[in-house]
Amino acid sequence: MWRKHWVVGMVVGIALAVCLWSSPWAGQAGADVAVIANPEQKPAAVTYSAEVWLDMNERVVKGTLTTRFVPQDDKAFFHLYPNAFATEADLRSENWEQVLGKQREPGGIAISAVKVNGRQADVRYEGKTNTLLRVPLPQLPPNKAKAETVVEMSFRLQVPYNNGRLSYHDHAMWLGNWLPILAVKDSGGWRLDPYTAIGDPFYSEVANYHLRVHLPEGYQLATTGLESVAVVTQTRPQRQSIYELDAWNVRDFAMVVMDDTYQAMSGKVGETVVRTWSQQGDDAAVVNSLHQTAMESLDYYGKQFGTYPYKEYDVVKTGGFFGGMEYPSLVFIEEEFFNTANSMGAAVVAHETAHQWFYGIVGNDEVREAWLDESLTDYATMAFLQEKDAKRAQAYMRMRQGQSRAAEAYAKQGIDAETSVAAFPDWKSYNELVYGRSGVMWWTLRDAWGAERLNQLLRQYVSEHQYGLANGAAIKELVSAASGADATPFFDYWLHLKLELAEAANGWLEKVKHE
């Protein structure tokens, strides 16, 4: 995610009745697998199927969701992220205001009619603002193989109004982290983290999605999935289009609903269609520049870190957003960047595009290890900007280096780059550590190794963890193996701010520089 408030210095420096088939991709009921994904892709272990109705006047999304998965426990938890915005009193802090703005209206998601394998389930809400749904699952005998479980539910989402990931304005509604999604259970147990003000407090595994969306006449969609209009129906008071949306091996499913003031500029990078969505009246030259950045950065990252596996990539103008936000095959970009002729918008688009690899293709625990995807994303952003315009890239890197030096002061406070998002006291510390300090760490390694050597290592990282979950230990081990020497002093100096290890970190760099 790119956040507007931490780049102020950069401005100067850079100037269904739901279709419940056994699998939505089985037989004639599903979409053509070759269209959805590359041939080598295998379907994920979890499938979400939903039928959704949109009321653009009331800002309400109703629907049914069916989740198919093999349980790991006698229960499952679904994140209900929209409920973080249900109570205004819980959002009264400076950190929340930096994300959501001052003008806000509450919203939330209500769940009903939950069934497990066709039987009514006794579920309960958990979390401070009901951001979790606990669903009991049938227990199996110890000697019986685990079987697929089907959880069905109905939902009603009242979309909140704010500057965040889930909101609207007069011409569009953007839905980020809106559908109920299964929580991750890993070696540390169930990960049931709340929706925090700071960072991207999300942790998810890839899944397959099929949505059938009933859309009022006069609106269009940009989504994580591939869209096709199945049928146009005559209903009262207005006609509706029914869209079929499919996505394989994606970490989340986001969607933007736009009226006819929006139009797309299209191009193609390899097998991927790239669309940049702007509005009538936006600066045409700026929009074209953003579109070119989206295409060029997608192409660059694909060559450096591994081919982009999805068939579409949408860059969409949203409202008074807080910079940019990444989702698989889709990113939200703040509206002001579509009319501002400076390099900030290009940097934002490049950053969110890099997240397609680091968060999207390779996932990680963004709550406990926010540095991992953000540092690699920002390194990739710097590398792309350097390739595109070295002079302007220097301004970006000077900003990051300044943040990195400022971050050293946090050592005395016991805050470092590997701190959980909930433990950061404010956005400033988060930005300077997670982006500045951690991003410069990778650039320092690039200075020692050269771009090709480091990018080759990152290609290996992406290849080994594609569609999976990685952690900091994995990439540290990869660096150590590639260098032939234990990289612990290097990472401890940069991430844990162990300034006494500066000499050891530099010694390690010199030792492995010419290996």
Q: Can you tell me the distance from the alpha carbon of 279 to that of 260, in angstroms, rounded to the nearest whole number?
A: 9
Q: Which of these is catalytic: 195, 310, 379, 435?
A: 435
Q: Which of these is catalytic: 352, 366, 418, 432?
A: 352
Q: Can you tell me the distance from the alpha carbon of 183 to that of 97, in angstroms, rounded to the nearest whole number?
A: 27
Residue 324's CB is within 10 A of a number of other CB atoms, namely: 25
Per-residue confidence (pLDDT) for residue 321, from 0 to 100: 76
Instruction: Convert the pLDDT of each residue in 217-228 to its tens digit.
Output: 999 999 999 987
- The answer to whether 355 is annotated as binding is yes
Per-residue confidence (pLDDT) for residue 143, from 0 to 100: 63
Lowest mean pLDDT among 283-287, 392-396, 403-407, 507-511: 392-396
Please compute the mean of the pLDDT values over residues 59-63 and round it to a whole number. 98
Name the 3-class secondary structure at 342.
coil
Beta strands at 330-333 and 312-317: parallel, antiparallel or unpaired: parallel
Domains 2-354 and 370-512 share a fold: no
The CATH homologous superfamily to which domain 370-512 belongs is Neutral Protease Domain 2 (1.10.390.10)
Q: Is pLDDT of 24 > 70?
A: no
Instruction: Convert the pLDDT of each residue in 84-115 to its tens digit.
Output: 999 988 898 999 999 999 999 999 999 999 99
- The answer to whether 312 is annotated as binding is no
Q: Is pLDDT of 368 > 80?
A: yes
Greater model confidence, 30 or 384: 384
Name the 3-class secondary structure at 8.
helix
Per-residue confidence (pLDDT) for residue 141, from 0 to 100: 66
- 37: nearest Cα among 354, 466, 461: 466
Q: Is pLDDT of 169 > 70?
A: yes
Q: Is pLDDT of 30 > 80?
A: no
Q: Can you tell me the distance from the alpha carbon of 328 to that of 247, in angstroms, rounded to the nearest whole number?
A: 9
Class at the top of the CATH hierarchy for domain 2-354: mainly beta
Q: What phi and psi, each to the nearest 5 degrees, are found at residue 460?
A: -65, -45
Q: Can you tell me the distance from the alpha carbon of 40 to that of 271, in angstroms, rounded to the nearest whole number?
A: 14
Alpha-carbon Rg for the chain, nearest whole angstrom, is: 22
- Please state, for a pLDDT cut of 70, what percent of the chain lies above it: 89
Per-residue confidence (pLDDT) for residue 15, from 0 to 100: 35
Instruction: Convert the pLDDT of each residue in 126-158 to its tens digit.
Output: 998 999 999 999 987 666 667 899 999 999 999
Find how far residue 216's CA is from the centre of its chain.
27
- 106: nearest Cα among 126, 125, 130, 82: 82
Name the 3-class secondary structure at 40.
coil
Q: What phi and psi, each to the nearest 5 degrees, are found at residue 206?
A: -70, 155
Q: Where residue 428 falls among pLDDT bands split at 50, 70, 90?
A: very high
Sorted by where each begins, the domain ranges of the chain are 2-354, 370-512
Instruction: Convert the pLDDT of each residue in 301-333 to its tens digit.
Output: 999 999 999 999 999 999 977 789 999 999 999
**In contact, 312 and 275? CB cutoff 8 Å:** yes
Strand arrangement, sheet containing 166-169: 166-169, 172-175, 255-259, 219-223
Per-residue confidence (pLDDT) for residue 10, from 0 to 100: 41
Q: Is pLDDT of 425 > 50?
A: yes
Per-residue confidence (pLDDT) for residue 236, from 0 to 100: 61
pTM (2 decimals)?
0.92
State how far the alpha carbon of 343 is from the alpha carbons of 350, 370, 388, in Å: 11, 25, 11
**In contact, 437 and 495? CB cutoff 8 Å:** yes
Burial (CB count <10 Å: 0-12, 13-18, 19+), residue 35 = exposed
Q: Is 435 a catalytic residue?
A: yes
Write down the number of H helices and E strands in the chain.
13, 24
Q: Is 313 a catalytic residue?
A: no
Secondary structure (DSSP) of 245-267: EEEEEES---EEEEETTEEEEEE
- The answer to whether 465 is annotated as binding is no
Strand arrangement, sheet containing 330-333: 2-3, 323-327, 330-333, 312-317, 272-279, 262-269
**Secondary structure in 3-state letters for 385-445:** HHHHCHHHHHHHHHHHHHHHHHHHHHHHHCCCCCCCHHHCCCHHHHHHHHHHHHHHHHHHH
- Please state, for a pLDDT cut of 90, what percent of the chain lies above it: 79
The residue behind tokens 């990078």 is 269
Question: How confident is the prediction for the chain on average, in pLDDT?
Answer: 90
Instruction: Convert the pLDDT of each residue in 254-269 to its tens digit.
Output: 999 999 999 999 999 9
**In contact, 148 and 155? CB cutoff 8 Å:** no
